[in-house]
Amino acid sequence: MTHHVSTMLETYPKDLGSVDKDKLAACIEACFECAQTCTACADACLAEDKVAELTVCIGTDLDCADICLTTGRVLTRRTGDSAQVTRALVEACRAACQGCAEECESHAQMHEHCRVCAEACRRCEQACSDLLASLG
């Protein structure tokens, strides 16, 4: 976990309530890492000679990247957060990561970038699950 994510949560001037700060920080970090990795994977797919075979993967990567980025940003903002919105967003992120991981895993034998992306998606999927479990 990066020091800055945890430090920013620790310096938040209000009470964060019952949210598990470690799981929240881990989820924020995993979301941003996954967004970057999925964007890079989509770009690498575009550079492949047989790019036409990777169109579904590219779309899945880009959707997952956008959802992870948005989730990380919303989880970072603690003022006036809505438990209902947070839960729905984290559930959507978990689902996007699961789908992207499955798609990238289907190409992982041929494309190393897809293997790396699938791993990042699985980490984010797990971090989302861990945060959801802590929300009760």
Let me know if residue 78 belongs to a domain. Answer: yes
pTM: 0.92
pLDDT under 70: residue ranges of the chain: 1-2, 13, 80, 136
- What is the Cα 120 distance to its own chain's centre? 8
Do the domain assignments include residue 16? no
Specify if 98 maps to a domain.
yes
- Cα distance between the two ends of the chain: 23
pLDDT for 10 equals 76
Q: What is the pLDDT of residues 97-129, one digit of tens each?
A: 999 999 999 999 999 999 999 999 999 999 999
8 A C-beta contact, residue 33 and residue 123: yes
Amino acid in the structure at residue 131: L
Provide the domain limits for residue 82. Answer: 21-135
Q: What is the pLDDT of residue 19?
A: 81
Question: Considering the domain boundaries, does residue 14 fall inside one?
Answer: no
Is 4 contained in some domain?
Answer: no
Residues 6+ apart with CB under 8 A from 133: none
Q: What is the model's pLDDT at position 45? A: 96
What's 57's domain CATH number? 1.20.1270.360
d(CA 74, CA 83): 11
- For residue 15, tell me if it sits in a domain: no
How many structural domains does the chain have? 1
The answer to whether residue 3 is domain-embedded is: no
On whether residue 124 sits in a domain, the answer given is yes
- pLDDT at site 2: 59
Residue 47 corresponds to which tokens in the numbers above? 């550079």
Establish how many alpha carbons lie within 13 A of residue 100's alpha carbon, considering only the half-sphere containing its beta carbon: 36
